[in-house]
Amino acid sequence: MVTPFNNLDSMEWTIGISAIIIAILLIKMKYDSTTDTFEDNGIKDRIGYVLTLGGGGLYLLISGLYISFAWPYTTGLNNVLFGGIATLGGLLLTIAALALYFNGGFRIVSYFGAGVAAYALTGAYAILVQEYTKTPLVSALGYIGMAAAAIFIIPVTHSNNKILRYIAAIFAILFAAVWLFMAVTTTSSHLGNALF
């Protein structure tokens, strides 16, 4: 049975797809850490990243705020685990999209990402210790993957080392895989047709 106004599955899809787009950006776009900018010969691609990451970020931000204020809850669990991380993750994606649009400030954005990572790690710890969600290990891995990807972006913004960028892209792809797996299972469950 589909819960009214339950947008958790589409949020998980958005997170997973956004992580894949970040991986592609890390591999394809030419970033120069000395100027903290992307080369402008890929301006059309950069605008595409701005639109997709910004759109996903706005959706997560609005969804997270909606969960934080509108979802009925008794313990605050839904508010913190789903609303909080979606709001902060959406804010991070929106800020990253703006940095891409203005083509600068990625180091500062990466520091904010480290703060979001700390929040995600705290959530992962709570999920594992208190066995929150239907699949605590998978959910915690989603939060840990998000945190690892966000933290690993910091050295990428301080170096022109392509190997670091590829490693960060691998983290983003692994992070995406976990969230897309959760998205498939949540969508399937919401449709009353659990696959896993």
- Show pLDDT as tens, one digit a residue, over the chain (196 residues): 344 446 788 899 999 999 999 999 999 988 999 999 988 766 788 899 999 999 999 999 999 988 888 766 655 666 677 888 999 999 999 999 999 999 999 999 999 999 999 999 999 999 999 888 888 899 899 999 999 999 999 999 999 999 999 999 999 999 999 999 999 988 888 787 656 5
Does 178 reside within a domain?
yes
Does 5 reside within a domain?
no
- Cα separation, 85 vs 194, in Å, equals 25
SS3 assignment, position 14: helix
Does 132 reside within a domain?
yes
Number of structural domains (the chain) is 1
> What residues have CB less than 8 Å from 78, skipping those under 6 apart?
67, 71
- Cα separation, 127 vs 34, in Å, equals 39
Q: Residue 2 has what pLDDT?
A: 42
Q: Residue 66 has what pLDDT?
A: 86
> What residues have CB less than 8 Å from 191, skipping those under 6 apart?
2
Asked if residue 105 lies in contact with residue 99, where contact means CB atoms within 8 angstroms, the answer is yes
Q: Please tell me the pTM assigned to this model.
A: 0.89
What's the domain range around 141? 15-28+40-189
What are phi and psi for residue 55, nearest 5 degrees?
Answer: -65, -45
Does 57 reside within a domain?
yes
